[in-house]
């Protein structure tokens, strides 16, 4: 029942650019639009010239392999939308629709930033209302949606679950929402070495796999349809 997929790798880091192999296989398996995350690394959204080259190359490859839209964000060192870089990346993305991701939640002035995104031509902005989750940032999300007046789609995202979705949709007047709808699945490995970790200490354990939960997607979709 999902209407769109935001495809990314590295969910522990908040999402990074997926492999083109993943995009190819996903496009073979689903019929809903697939929007591809363009984010060369975790961390902040202030990018070097080399990282910009990578982003442009990834956009071209994603388009080549069937992306239906792109998702990116870029900021200046003083916390404003990087209009110059966004303009250059948008030009590579066209004619596909583009979403500005939760880099928006790190801006200095969200109301000014929203106008900038509208003037640049972004179709959507994903935000938790500049707070730790969409529920905490609900009042700002509502204010942004009112300010947008349909010129850009304000999409709440961040910590959305079946327990709080109704409050978020009703409180924000949003027409779309974004969530991972994931759960943990135990690894099929029978032999396990507890002494070795493949990533940093804060990364997900090797013998627990995060998967999109079909039941959660259906439940969230049913809640949304009831409200929207």
| pLDDT (mean) for 187-196 | 92
| Alpha carbons 99 and 117: distance in angstroms, whole number | 10
Q: Which residue has the higher pLDDT, 59 or 1?
A: 59
3-224 under CATH 3.40.50.2000, yes or no: no
Q: State pTM to two decimals.
A: 0.95
Task: List, for residues 132-183, the tens digit of each pLDDT value.
Answer: 999 999 999 999 999 999 999 999 999 999 999 999 999 999 999 999 999 9
| pLDDT (mean) for 23-43 | 98
| Alpha carbons 228 and 88: distance in angstroms, whole number | 35
| Alpha carbons 51 and 148: distance in angstroms, whole number | 31
Report the phi/psi class of residue 181: left, alpha or beta, with left for phi > 0 and alpha for psi in -120 to 50: left
Task: List, for residues 52-105, the tens digit of each pLDDT value.
Answer: 999 999 999 999 999 999 999 999 999 999 999 999 999 999 999 999 999 999
- Give me the residue spans of the domains in the chain: 3-224
Q: Note the helical H segments in 99-137.
A: 110-120
């Amino acid at each position: 029942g999902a209407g769109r997929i935001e495809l990314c790798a590295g969910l522990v880091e908040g999402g990074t650019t997926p492999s083109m192999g993943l995009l190819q296989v996903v496009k073979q398996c689903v019929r809903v639009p697939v929007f591809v995350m363009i984010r060369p690394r975790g961390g902040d959204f202030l990018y070097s010239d080399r990282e910009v080259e990578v982003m442009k190359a990834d956009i071209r490859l994603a388009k080549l392999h069937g992306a239906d839209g792109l998702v990116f964000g870029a900021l200046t060192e003083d916390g404003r939308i990087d209009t110059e870089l966004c303009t250059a990346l948008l030009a590579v993305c066209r004619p596909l629709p583009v979403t500005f991701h939760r880099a928006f939640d790190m801006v200095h002035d969200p109301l000014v930033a929203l106008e900038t995104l509208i003037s640049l031509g972004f179709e959507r902005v994903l935000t938790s209302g500049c707070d730790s989750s969409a529920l905490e940032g609900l009042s700002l999300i509502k204010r942004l949606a009112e300010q947008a007046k349909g010129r850009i789609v304000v999409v709440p995202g961040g910590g959305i679950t079946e327990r709080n979705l109704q409050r978020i949709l009703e409180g924000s007047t949003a027409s779309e929402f974004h969530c991972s709808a994931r759960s943990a699945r135990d690894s099929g490995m029978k032999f396990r070495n507890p002494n070795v970790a493949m990533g940093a200490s804060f990364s997900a354990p090797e013998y627990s796999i995060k998967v999109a939960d079909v039941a959660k997607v259906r439940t969230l979709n049913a809640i949304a349809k009831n409200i929207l």
